[in-house]
Structure 1
Amino acid sequence: MSAAIYACWKPPPGTAGMSLTLRFSLRRNGTLIGKPRATFSDLGTDSALNRAFVASILEALDEALPLPFSDSMGGAIAGRMLAPRFTATFERAS
């Protein structure tokens, strides 16, 4: 499930090492219940870059949802709190 969200995520350049944990719940049909909430962040000093980093995560969530759950998975996950951590990996030097 988290892999589907991570697959849609493209961290902006210059955000290597930044990290954010979101907390949210899903319905049995794979859509969000309410708004995601940040529970942990390790961001940088550039506020514009920080906003771009957070926006990239929210865009990935929007793109990935609704998640295609089977009936049994939807029933098991519905309403449970999820807390995936998004960490931008370090960029390679060219």
Structure 2
Amino acid sequence: MAATLIIAGGMLVGTVLPLHAATLNTMDDVGAAIQACWTPPPDAGDSTVTLSFSFKRDGTLIGAPRPTAAKVAGDDKARKSFIDAAVAAVKNCTPLSFSPTLAQGIGGNVFTLQFVSPKK
């Protein structure tokens, strides 16, 4: 079973968590923490990318996040830049600090996270 988080640029304002400082209790907290790490490229247009990844119980990644779907405005360079920014957000945000309860259920599960460019 895959869990899904949807991250949209500009969403979750006010729930941004300090990196690596707060203990995360829910998958919504995880999404907010990763959102705080993401900076979409300028002129991303109407773009989305979905990444697939897994965590260990200690908050580190199991392998690299991989894109599973992408719709990116622009050329191949724009596509690479948008996908790279999303992958970097996940990598740069880890390790995350999970509460014992969240850590117990998160280890090894595959999650998908959709990054959506901010609406202009």
| TM norm structure 1 | 0.88
- Cα deviation for residue 70 of structure 1 reads 1.5
1:32-86 deviation per Cα after TM superposition (whole angstroms, max 9, x unaligned): 1122221111112411111111111111112211111012211111111110100
The question of 1:71 aligning with 2:100 is answered: yes
Please give the TM-score of this superposition, normalised by the length of structure 2.
Answer: 0.71
Matching of residue 51 in structure 1 with residue 83 in structure 2: no
2:70 paired residue among 23, 41, 51:
41
Separation in structure 1 between the aligned mates of residue 68 and residue 92 of structure 2, nearest angstrom: 21
Structure 2 residue identity aligned to 1:26: F
* Percent of aligned pairs with the same amino acid: 35
Q: 2:75 aligned with 1:17, yes or no?
A: no
Provide the secondary structure at the position in 2 that maps to 1:76.
helix
Does residue 6 of the first structure (1) align with residue 29 of the second (2)? no
**Deviating 4+ runs (over 2 angstroms):** none
- Is 1:31 aligned with 2:67? no
Please tell me the residue identity of whatever aligns with 2:47: M
State whether residues 51 and 87 of structure 2, in contact with CA within 8 Å, keep that contact through their aligned partners in structure 1. Answer: no
| RMSD, aligned α-carbons | 1.2
| Alpha-carbon distance in structure 1 between the residues aligned to 2:67 and 2:78 | 17
The answer for unaligned runs of 5 or more in structure 2 is: 1-29
| Structure 1 residue runs without a partner (length 5+) | none
User: How many residues are treated as equivalent by the alignment?
Assistant: 91
Q: Is the 8 A contact 2:57 2:103 kept in 1?
A: yes
Shift, 1:21, TM fit: 0.5
- In structure 2, distance between residues paired with 1:90 and 1:70: 33
